[in-house]
A and B are shown apart, each in its own frame.
Chain A
Amino acid sequence: MATSTDTTVNTTDVAAETVGEDGVRRRDFINIAAVSAGGVGALAVVYPLVSQMAPSKDVLAESTTELDISAIQPGQAVKAVFRKQPVFVRMLTEAEIAEADAVSLGDLREPETLADRTLEGHENVLVTMGVCTHLGCVPLGAAEGENKGEYGGYFCPCHGSHYDTAGRIRKGPAPTNLVVPDYTFTTDTTIVIG
């Protein structure tokens, strides 16, 4: 009888095309699997294309900056270069320290004491990045005769942010205090930043 062959043929067809009770065909799984594999492959290609723009090894291998601070007189500041960005090293006077300590923490946008921002035993040495925390300009106030702003620290000319003698944001659009980088004293007059 022809029925046996017919049955075989039908079985295969039915197996492939059977629509389950939930309306899903077995072939649908293959479609999803194939598109998923393609999607994973595409992501694997896109990742290096995007990642190549992130900092390269030479940029990441940024070294430290060593600085002799013996020549800086109280009331003076110097600009050093750390990771291709300016860093301010400022020798505070007694008056400036007193002024910074007199500020109540409640008045600050980002409450930090001067002691929090300097190293123990060296409260007169203020080391901060010379990068305004608003949009990244270099504030004035490090060099002789520059505008130090209303709070005697730094003033950013780009959008008018004022920082106090401890480099804390007091007025203007900048959201946080000038960043204090990691640094240590190797001798009494030498610091290593980074």
Chain B
Amino acid sequence: MSFPWAKQYEPKMPVMRWLDEKLPLPRFVYNAVGAGYPVPRNLNYMWNFGVLAGFCLVLQIVTGVILAMHYAPNALVAFDTTEHIMRDVNWGWMMRYAHANGASFFFVVIYMHIFRGLFYSSYKAPREMIWLLGVVIFLLLMATAFMGYVLPWGQMSFWGAKVITGLFSAIPLIGEPLQVWLLGGYAPDNAALNRFFSLHFLLPFVTAGVVILHIWALHIPGSSNPTGIEIKSESDTVPFHPYYTAKDGFGLGIFLILYCTFVFFLPNFLGHPDNYIPANPMATPAHIVPEWYFWPFYAILRAFTVDFILSAKLWGVLAMFSSILLWFFLPWLDRSPVRSGHYRPLFRKFFWFGLIPAMVVLFICGGAPAEEPYVMLSQIATAYYFLHFLVILPIVSSIERPEPLPYSITEAVLGSDKKAVLGENTSPAT
């Protein structure tokens, strides 16, 4: 992406000039995050979470590779090597808590990032591909986090592995053989633990690859912004560096304060105490729940309790997977030409008073036992969730009368756009 006013890279040192002619890597960086990348001037703090997600990925890869130096993926010793990391390895306790809480904070950041996209309709043309790649990244993250949680081989690890692979057994005909193939046996055991380790190591690098495509796709139209209006002239933008490197750096500081508070003062707050009990294939813990970041989807899984046509078990599995897979169709379900929720009064109501409360209810029900009133509440919230995306959003986008949009980003920020008035508007190059 480059607007006509984007600064050109001009190497000053001879060595950089030499490098630029052979392999223009510094030019690439300059055009990606340097002064060569103009960004809308009105981005708010909701636009910090992409960088934070990137930071979390690096954090998880670094601490993960370190933990893999001391952890042994064998059912006989996995739990013990985890405790060995906590007690004997220099700073091992910190590495483990940083990695475990890092996963939770990764999901906090990702959920903020996703809901930013949902409110400002960042998924709309021409940014569909960014959104689709983002959904792929989200699916990869969930698979990675699940397999990581299995590795310490505690009670929650073991029974999580059993239940999550058991989801596949709901598929007619191929389900049972598929679960056996995934586990490499008839119950979670060494074979399962071993391969989950291998895949937990692999997937973050696959994720990193998709993240590169995600950023590449973003740099073609450039960042969206809270008005949802495209960039019209130079006065709408500021160079990424130093303006947004500084702002992202500030956001990162706030994030690190919160994150470190958890790592150092509340390291087990977000975890489940039963995972400090070694895996016991003979007894299931009475209150088995997944990690908090899976609760909304777990609630959808458990909302189906009655057989009709298909078994309740299969309905639950289908609903849980389609609750995320339907995001792939979102750019085509929301037909409104206006992007930002700021200018869409009806959409805004359904977003804040429909979707968000439904997600909160699903979150609470997913963490609660499968008893009344939680089952009924999760059924209502699940129904609303699907209704929101499949019915309400398409209808709202066709009947809604949006509020008047500002002429440009500059006008939205300063109240007027002098360049536009003077006719000095420069159209962006495509």
Contacts and interface: CB of A to CB of B under 8 A. Distances in A.
A160 interface: yes
Given A158-B163, A160-B370, A138 B284 contact: yes
Nearest to A138: B284
A175 B311 contact: yes
B166 A136 contact: yes
Contact of B166 (A55, A83, A135): A135
Nearest to B286: A157
A67 interface: no
A122 interface: no
Contacts of B162: 135-137
Contacts of A54: 180-181, 184
B249 interface: no
Contacts of B186: 55, 59, 83-85
B148 to A, nearest CB: 19
Given A55-B184, A157-B287, A173-B305, A84 B189 contact: yes
A56 B302 CA distance: 33
Interface string A133-167: 01111101000000000000000111110000000
A138 B313 contact: no
A81 interface: yes
A136 B162 CA distance: 7
Contacts of A173: 305, 312-313, 316
Interface string A55-89: 11001000000000000000000010101111000
B174 to A, nearest CB: 13
B313 A158 contact: no
Contacts of B69: none
A85 B187 contact: yes
A95 interface: no
B159 interface: yes
Contacts of B159: 137, 158
A56 B313 contact: no
A9 interface: no
A53 interface: yes
Interface in B150-192: 159, 162-163, 166-167, 169, 180-182, 184-187, 189, 191
B283 A84 contact: no
B355 to A, nearest CB: 27
Contacts of B429: none
A136 B163 contact: yes
Interface in A38-53: 50, 53
B282 interface: yes
Contact of B282 (A55, A83, A138, A158): A138
Given A56-B184, A85-B187, A160-B370, A135 B167 contact: yes
A158 B191 CA distance: 24
Contact of B191 (A50, A55, A83, A86): A55
B158 to A, nearest CB: 11
A86 B187 CA distance: 10
A159 B311 contact: no
Contacts of A158: 159, 163, 284, 288, 370
A137 B282 contact: no
B184 A59 contact: yes
Q: Which of A59, A131, A135 has the most CB of B within 10 A?
A: A135
Contacts of A81: 281-282
A55 B184 CA distance: 4
Q: Which of A53, A81, A130 has the most CB of B within 10 A?
A: A53
Interface in A80-130: 81, 83-86, 130
Interface of B: 159, 162-163, 166-167, 169, 180-182, 184-187, 189, 191, 195, 281-288, 302, 305, 311-313, 316, 370-371
5 contacts: A54-B180, A55-B184, A135-B169, A157-B286, A159-B302
Given A79-B282, A160-B370, A173-B312, 14 more contacts: A53-B181, A55-B185, A81-B281, A84-B186, A85-B186, A85-B281, A86-B281, A86-B282, A130-B282, A135-B166, A156-B284, A158-B159, A158-B288, A173-B305
